[in-house]
Structure 1
Amino acid sequence: MERSHLYKNLGIQLDMAVEAHDVLQQERQSNIAGVEMYKNKVGHSDITTVKITSPEGEEAMGKPMGNYVTIDAPHMKVNNRDIHQELSGLLAQELSKLLHLGPDDSVLVVGLGNWHATPDALGPKVVNHTMVTRHLHKFAPEELQGGLRSVSAIAPGVLGLTGIETAEIIKGVVEKINPTVIIAIDALATRSVERMATSLQIADTGITPGSGVGNRRVGINKETMGVPVIAIGVPTVVHAGVIAHEAIEMLLQQFHTSPSLYRLYKGLNPDSMQQIIEDVLEPFGRDLIMTPKEIDILIENTSRIIATGLAQALHPSISSSSEGLQYLQ
């Protein structure tokens, strides 16, 4: 069975553009019209840029037209200060390419997610470490602002905690403070166990909170907010159906080594794979998701990497060697 068909039937949304592209390309065995891909390697990281350039590509990918930059860094899991600083600098570089901020522009950082659920707490954690400076621009003399751009931050929580749509809270703040751009941080779902807490995606198309775990909310993008929205996400969970499918696929591949087993493999109904997965997941309404047992440490480290990268990208006077970043590390 094709992966895209299985994912659709199980209600699995691929948050990461690079994964959606890989699935489509493997199934079609050809390039995708209206979609461009570029790859680059910097230090310990691989950078993949997926650019959706037409409505045709938008429909095929199931994502809005725009730029999606993925930084794959397996060493992100390693508790190594030097590597984390390198990743923060790389994030700042890629983010700056999408922001195009002027010296007087202001930024609203939004930490999406549920601070009571560790795999979904990335956004609030980043806000905890974010260098906010709007109050300095509002109340301090210019000479004390120290080359810092006006940055404010909010962690609006989730509908289940507040009773208010996240987009409504953010829209109210935007109307009050009039930021030039919004940077939204959220946890993502992945189809690859290897990518959990080892990849970063930056997109200039905004974000739909909860889409990766089948809990889609109102989108946070330029159309709904009235200002550009840059989304930063890190995969922290993988759908159990994806893991089950990969395990069955690997088992079936082994059938090719034996003529008798291969005949059994050829006699299988492709739809039976989906039915088996659905039956296993039925007690959880097919919405079971998995996360690493050390997710609390991974979220803490990743949130500091992102917050440090934000500080470098947003404040002109800050570099990777600035002493002001020490508290973020």
Structure 2
Amino acid sequence: MQIHGQPRSMKLHERHRSLSQYSPRTDLAMEAHALAKQGGRSLTGVDESHEEFDGLNVTRVRVRTKVAERRLGKRKGMYVTLEIPGLRHRDPDLQERVTKVFADELHRLLDLPKDASVLVIGLGNEHITPDALGPMVVNKLFVTRHLFHYMPEVLGDGKGYRSISAVSPGVLGLTGIETSEIVRGIVERIKPDAVIAIDALASRSLTRVNATIQLSDTGIQPGAGVGNNRKALDKESLGIPVIAVGVPTVVDAATIANDAIELLMSQLREQVPGNAASALFDQLGTGEKWHLIREVLDPMGNNLVVTPKEVDDFMDDVAFVVAKGLNVALHPAMTMDDANLVTH
């Protein structure tokens, strides 16, 4: 067998296509953990727990060691993932439950005094729908920093409300400025006690697109979801805690194609045992198959990703849920009814 005119062994050696390098793109820690454990491989330094609620599942992954950090490709810290399969069906009752769980999890990660100030950063390009989560959430937030300064009567005695400011810094291609530079300048000027960064992510499963929310205390790399990583926003770079909130909005096209071919070959093996096509396919290792498919889909090395055609509606719904959850979590005095009024 030859690939592009070169012997298979030579080509695979040149590209280092091995099982250990099988790494479908994912920003979800729970998916990275599952991939690391494939084939019965052991992995220490990671704790994972699961909790089920009515209509949603919560998975908590804590990366404890540098070795686990390298194996997973995820920084040390806590990752909380909410899986809500029904979130894309516009169920108001489910959205209400998700908002409460999300707000509780964020409150635990944030762990700030009631009078602490928070800066919310909406990362992404508002002109590209799957990458517009950050700006969409910021547009729906109840910001209060200016009210404390200019309209304190709106907040009554101010107790139970935090000073919240928010900004969508855009992307490097539109501003010519690194997002980290913009955020660092704002932080130095207004001196918040913490930063919450909102960004679109990538999953390895279409079922999790716009139906999953991940929170972490490790910071974030702007553009990670579309494979365009910039300088990280984290405690080391900003000097204050940085909570990352992300929703997967895209899936790597090579991962989808790989899963589809694996399913097809599995059916072929059952229905036509010993057929030449599946036998030939089985000669390739897991990493070899995935890299070969990726090469076919991305011959020029582009990052080809896929998003559902209903992405506009999905994004609006999930941005509302995230913004409402933020409003409830950031303002201790805010009830769910209050959040319904101010989340727009």
Shorter-chain TM-score tier = over 0.9
Residue in 1 aligned with 2:74?
A: 63
- 1:16-165 superposed matches below 5 A: 16-27=28-39, 29-141=40-152, 143-145=156-158, 147-165=160-178
* Distance (whole Å) between structure 2 residues aligned to residue 20 and residue 45 of structure 1: 20
Residue in 2 aligned with 1:196?
A: 209
- Code of the residue aligned with 1:295 in structure 2: it is V
CA contact (8 A) 2:225 2:248 kept: no
Q: CA-to-partner distance for each residue in 1:18-54, whole Å, 9 max, x for gaps?
A: 0000111113x14421001000001210000000111
SS where residue 270 of structure 1 aligns? coil
Residue in 1 aligned with 2:284?
A: 270
Moved more, 312-321 or 132-141: 132-141
Moved more, 140-149 or 118-127: 140-149
Residue in 2 aligned with 1:167?
A: 180
Residue 15 of structure 1: which of 20, 23, 27 is its match?
27
SS where residue 51 of structure 1 aligns? strand
1:72 Cα shift?
0.2
1:326 Cα shift?
2.4
CA contact (8 A) 2:255 2:290 kept: no
Residue 319 of structure 2: which of 303, 307, 313 is its match?
303
Larger Rg: 2
Percent of pairs identical after alignment? 43
- Code of the residue aligned with 2:340 in structure 1: it is L
1:226 Cα shift?
1.0
* Distance (whole Å) between structure 2 residues aligned to residue 228 and residue 61 of structure 1: 22
The yes-or-no answer on 1:259 pairing with 2:273 is yes
Residue in 1 aligned with 2:333?
A: 317
Q: CA-to-partner distance for each residue in 1:38-87, whole Å, 9 max, x for gaps?
A: 00001210000000111121111111110000000011101122211111
CA contact (8 A) 1:4 1:23 kept: no
- 1:274-285 superposed matches below 5 A: 274=290, 276-283=292-299, 285=301
Residue in 2 aligned with 1:290?
A: 306
> Any stretches of 5+ residues in structure 2 without a counterpart?
1-16
* Distance (whole Å) between structure 2 residues aligned to residue 260 and residue 43 of structure 1: 45
* Distance (whole Å) between structure 2 residues aligned to residue 275 and residue 38 of structure 1: 32
Query: How many pairs were matched up?
Result: 322
Residue in 1 aligned with 2:12?
A: none
> Any stretches of 5+ residues in structure 1 without a counterpart?
none
- Code of the residue aligned with 2:174 in structure 1: it is L
* Distance (whole Å) between structure 1 residues aligned to residue 313 and residue 215 of structure 2: 22
**Are residues 4 and 133 of structure 1, via their aligned partners in 2, closer, same or farther at CA, if it must alter by over 3 Å?**
farther
**Are residues 176 and 58 of structure 1, via their aligned partners in 2, closer, same or farther at CA, if it must alter by over 3 Å?**
same
1:2 Cα shift?
7.1
**Are residues 279 and 297 of structure 1, via their aligned partners in 2, closer, same or farther at CA, if it must alter by over 3 Å?**
same
Moved more, 37-46 or 134-143: 134-143
Q: CA RMSD in A?
A: 1.9
* Distance (whole Å) between structure 1 residues aligned to residue 316 and residue 19 of structure 2: 32
SS where residue 321 of structure 1 aligns? helix
